[in-house]
Structure 1
Amino acid sequence: MRIIAGQHRGLALASVGKGDAGAHLRPTPDRVRESLFNVLMGYGLPHGARVLDLFAGTGALGLEALSRGAVQVTFVDNGRTAQRLIRENLAKARRTGDATLLTCAADRLPAAPAPCNLVFLDPPYGKALGAAALQSAQAQGWLAPDALIVWEDSAPQALAGFTPQDQRRYGDTHITLLTPDA
C-alpha cells in the first residue's frame, strides 16, 4: 500500500497484509483509491479541504487527501491496531501537525472544532455501522453544508437526509457519494 499522488507520491504505508480480520481492517486497494481520487478531482477535492476519516483503519484515505492538498484531516478509529497504524503512517509522512487522531467510536464523536467538507466513511462491511457514524458526525457539527461524503461498503448506500451524487463499483467494493440535504 502506498500514496498514489501528490506531495507524498510513492510513500509506502505500514502494511496489514491482506487485512486484519480481528481488527476489521480492510485497506482500500491502491487502484480503488486512485479511481476514487480521480472522481473527487471533479468536485475540486481534496485540495483545500478539511477532512473527516471515519473508521480510518490505516489512514490511507486521509493521508492520500493530505498528500493531494487537504489542509487538515481528523482520523477516527477506536481499534488499537488501527490507531497504531495511523500513528505510524502519520509519522512516516511527517504529517502530525495537520492531522488529529480521535480514539473514540465513530458513532460517538465529540463536538467538531470546525466542519469538514470531505468525509470518508469506510465501516467494517456487514456490521451496519455507517449510518450511525454519519448521523453522529452530522449531529456533532462535523459536516459542512456542502460536505461530500464518500461511503465505502459492500453494497450501495442511502440514508434519509442525504442525497446520492454518484455510485461506483470496484469488484466487491461499492462507493457511494452523498451530500447532506439543505
Structure 2
Amino acid sequence: MTRIVAGEKGGLHLTVPKSGTRPTSERVREAMFSHLLCSGFPQGAAVLDLFAGSGALGLEALSRGGASAVFVDAARSAAKVLRANIDTLHYRDCSRVVVKDAAKYVSELKPTDCFDLIFLDPPYALAPYVLSEILAGLTAHFSPEGVMVLETSKKFPTPEIPSGLQADGTKNYGDTLVTYLQKARDCG
C-alpha cells in the first residue's frame, strides 16, 4: 500500500496501477523530500511529474506545499488510477494529467511552460540516450532556481547529464539511485 508520507494529506493512501509501474518507496520519497525541503521546495512550486504512474511524487509535492502539478504518463491505465488519486486527495483544481510519451510531451512544451520542481522516474530499462534527450529538452522549461529529481537504477547505465544541467548530489537507496539536478552555474 502506498501513502502520502507528510504534509496536508499525510497518511492518506494512494491506489497503484496493477502493472507497468514501479512506485517510489515511502522511504525514498521521504528522503527526497527531506533533501528538497532543505532547499526550500516544494512551497509554491510548479511541479512536473514525468513517468508519473500513481502520481505519488507529484501528489507528495502538492501535499507539502506545491502550487500545481502536471502528471505525464503514456499508459492510459496509469492515468486512470492517477486521476482517481487526484480526486481522492481533492487536488483536481491544481492538477493536470497528460496521457503521452514523456519524450513527446517534452518536445511539445511551449516556450512559456516552466517548472520549479521536476520528477523523472522512468522505467529502469529506458535507453540512457532517450533520458538524456528528455533532460536536455527540459532545460529550457526549468526555473533558474529549480530542482530536478532523477530516479534511476544502479543496475542500468546512467544517462549523460546534458550541458545546461549539473548534478547537485546523488544518494543510493538499495538499487535506486537518486540524482538531484539544477541549472549549471557559470564559473566566471
In the other structure, the counterpart of 1:167 is 170
Task: Return closer, same or farther for 1:15/1:57 CA change in 2, 3 Å cut-off.
Answer: closer
SS at match of 2:28: helix
| RMSD after superposition | 1.6
Q: Structure 2 CA distance, aligned partners of 1:157 and 1:169?
A: 16
Match of 1:111 in 2: 109
Conserved 8 A contact 2:58-2:71:
yes
**Separation in 2, partners of 1:8, 1:85:** 18
Once the two structures are TM-superposed, the CA of residue 158 in structure 1 deviates from its matched residue by 4.2
User: In structure 1, what is the Cα distance between the partners aligned to 2:166 and 2:16?
Assistant: 35
Structure 1 consecutive aligned stretches of length 4 or more whose deviation exceeds 4 Å: none
Residues 47-100 of structure 1, C-alpha deviation per residue, up to 9 Å, x if partnerless? 111111111111000000000000011111111121111111101101010011
CA deviation map 1:110-135 (0-9, x unaligned) = 32453111100110002124222222
Structure 1 counterpart of 2:152, one-letter code: D
Which of 50, 56, 70 pairs up with 1:54?
50
Q: Hey, what does 1:3 align to over in structure 2?
A: 4
Match of 2:76 in 1: 80
**Percent sequence identity over aligned pairs:** 37
Q: Is the 8 A contact 1:108 1:136 kept in 2?
A: no
- Structure 1 unmatched runs, 5+: none
TM-score (norm 2): 0.87
TM-score by length of structure 1 reads: 0.90
Q: Distance in 1 between matches of 2:74 and 2:136?
A: 17
